[in-house]
Structure 1
Amino acid sequence: MLPESIRTIEMREPGKADVLETGTRPIPQPASDEVLIKVIAAGVNGPDLVQRRGHYPPPKGASDLLGLEVSGEIVAVGADVADWSTGDLVCALTNGGGYAEYVTVHGAHCLPIPEGVDPVDAAGLPETYFTVWSNLFLDHTPAANALLLAHGGAGGIGSTAIQLGKLNGMSVLTTCADDASIAFCTDIGADRAINYQDEDFVAVARDMGGANLILDTIGGDYVARNIKASAPDARIVQLAFNKGSRMEIDLMPIMLKRLTFTGSTLRSRPEAFKSRVAADLRDRVWSSFQTGQLKPMTHTIFSFDEAVASHKMMEQAQHHGKILLKP
């Protein structure tokens, strides 16, 4: 029997990590195209921190609770959902609401937990894999031995990009903040990992022939430097602006090098697009966990009572891989 009320992590108000606290709410009810998931674990992601600060409001109709990915057991199925049954173990991309004991999710945004992956670790897969795959590889096939420059390789997005780059036959250059992060990135497949404080990634990328694909979450002065580091006909994908989104740059090299500069946010994309990404991941990526070519990257698992600590760890960039919350 399902409970009437559930435990959640709430925001008292927008602000620092200390505004997070546990609370209770009525159990959510799935719509006809949704499933209800009993949460095993939830991922902590950069957009959670931005929303907590008051700068990333949830889309219309989405839960105001934080949490964009979960793993868990399906305990109820909407009338129009044909692919899932109660008792199925899944990991899922949510529009919010993951920081709770139960969450409703669109049925087509669920994926089976890959064979050989612990159900807790699976909570850290959807947000980064949906994001990286949809921006770098959906409808794009990299040329053999193309160079991927992935900034922040020790984080969730960066570590996923390294693994997917290697899975797709690319060489991978990544930037890191310290020696421990460099070791982590090379262990998971990066061909070259550099400390951005000691080496200029522009010079390194040029020595390697120029980056054909660049994934950046930094922004600020990195925008112009990424353009300099790119090879002709390269594609630069911007996913965040941790150093700011306003800058003055010379756009002439974009024309001369025939560059593509693009970016996106995943949460606001239509449900049909996310369903397409889920299907592509299931068909082309998920089996690589079984073969060992891909691995979940869990750094630390916190309890709901430790939500404040989980956000502080992410803000201080003390993690290698994913930070998870467990009810």
Structure 2
Amino acid sequence: MQAIVVEEERLAWRERPSPGPLGRDEVRLRVAWAGMNRADIMQRAGRYPPPPGASGILGLEVSGTITEVGPDVERYRLGDQVCALLSGGGYAEEVVTPAQQVLPLPQGLGLRDAAALPEVFATAWLNLFMEGALRPGDRVLLHAGASGVGTAAIQLCKAFDHPCFVTVGSDDKLEACLALGAASGWNRHQGSFIDAVKAWGGADMILDPVGASYLADNQQVLNVDGRLVMIGLMGGQRAELDLGRLLMKRQRLIGSTLRAKSPQAKGMILDALHTHVWPRLGRGEIRPIVDRSWPIDQADAAMAYLQSDASIGKVLLAVSGEG
């Protein structure tokens, strides 16, 4: 098969061995589209190695067609069009993955749009509703609101009646987030978000991919019994934590990653998406946000664009490009 390899600091489309024989509960997919994520940028730079046993090829989400099923797989058949959450290997013509990490396409969506769903909606659902334990009426602060995860989280907050405040990097991104359903927001180039979020009513839960550089400000706007869920370190790994504020306001700091979770744990998240989110996608209440796409052999250009921080929503790679 053909796959992307990191070759002399560039992404090249080269011949690679196909994934090996299927396990009893696995499926093989012919990849149509692959989603690009910031985790791929980190892995390429050597800062986010794949979990033990996972493919070293980049790519954490795909859509495609099932071409082989293991003997214990009952839910899927040859020819089914699906999307999948992966531990790696998505920038390739074929992937093998546990069937628990696969979902059918939402009604009315094709393969291209479906490739924009698994990683971002699983991340948003996990961290808003499972780790962040949102309760009725809770107010949410979303950093990087125009990112793939951010645009998914905005729509989930709106669908489940949680007002959300976003921080973004431009006025255009802020306008896009408000159009998706954010209640309010802040362009980070205008300074600290503290006063704006406090005036809005503070946050009961914060979803933060930034990390160290936002920690102090996050603590200031987090309400009593608030939860700060850390999902990334774009702003650094080390910062001072105000333990007095943490204690007096009963704040909770939660670290969360999706990639290294077991197939069983990922399956639970995807089952929740299938129950609570897939019907809303089918009705058009929630939609995948795709900024733009590139052919797979232009993955370098696509990743440079993602790194430029210009995108709103997902960047996709066309592998076969069908659907």
Normalised-by-shorter TM-score class: over 0.9
Residue among 123, 141, 155 paired with 2:147: 155
Cα 1:140–1:53 change in 2 (3 A) is closer
Once residues 96 and 221 of structure 1 are traced to their aligned partners in structure 2, the CA distance between those partners, rounded to angstroms, is: 29
8 Å contact kept, 1:149–1:213:
yes
Contact 1:32 1:78 in 2 (8 A): yes
> TM-score normalized by structure 2?
0.95
Where does 1:226-245 land on structure 2 (aligned, <5 Å)? 226-245=218-237
After superposition, what is the alpha-carbon deviation per residue over 1:230-254, rounded to whole angstroms, capped at 9, x for unaligned?
Answer: 1111111000011101112322111
State the Cα deviation string for residues 271-307 of structure 1 (Å, max 9, x = none).
2111111111111111010122110001111101110
Report the counterpart of residue 325 of structure 1 in structure 2. Answer: 317
**Separation in structure 2 between the aligned mates of residue 95 and residue 174 of structure 1, nearest angstrom:** 28
Q: Bigger CA drift: 304-313 or 142-151?
A: 142-151
Which residue number corresponds to residue 275 of structure 2?
283
Structure 2 matches for 1:98-177, cutoff 5 A?
A: 98-138=90-130, 142-177=134-169
Which one is further off, 192-201 or 94-103? 192-201
Number of the residue aligned with 1:8: 3
Q: CA deviation at 1:35?
A: 0.4
Q: What's the RMSD between the two structures over aligned residues? A: 1.3
Corresponding residue number in structure 1 for 2:190: 198
Gaps of 5+ in 1: 1-5
Indicate which of 171, 174, 177 corresponds to 1:179: 171
Question: Are the aligned partners of 1:142 and 1:168 in contact in 2 as well (CA < 8 Å)?
Answer: no
Pick aligned residue for 2:295 from 293, 303, 307: 303
User: Quick one: distance in 1 between partners of 2:264 and 2:309?
Assistant: 33
**TM value normalised by structure 1:** 0.94
**1:213 aligns to 2:205 (yes or no):** yes
Give 1:157 deviation, angstroms. 1.1
Aligned to 1:91: 83
SS of equivalent residue, structure 1 residue 124: coil
CA contact (8 A) 2:146 2:168 kept: yes
Q: How many residues in Structure 1 have an aligned counterpart in Structure 2?
A: 318
> Within 1, Cα distance between the matches of 2:48 and 2:170?
30
2:16 to 25, 46, 61: 25
| Letter matched to residue 11 of structure 1 | V
Instruction: Report runs of 4+ in structure 1 exceeding 6 Å deviation.
Output: none
| 1:43 alignment partner in structure 2 | 35
Determine the C-alpha separation between the residues in 2 that align with 1:130 and 1:215. 14
- The alpha-carbon deviation at position 140 of structure 1 amounts to 6.1
Cα distance between partner residues in 2 of 1:139 and 1:150:
15
Contact 1:155–1:320 under 8 Å retained in 2: yes
Unaligned runs of 5+ in 2: none
Structure 2 residue matching 1:317: 3-state secondary structure: coil
Counterparts in 2 of 1:66 and 1:309: CA distance versus 1, 3 Å: same
Residue 3 (structure 1) aligns with: none
Residue 64 of structure 2 corresponds to residue 72 of structure 1: yes
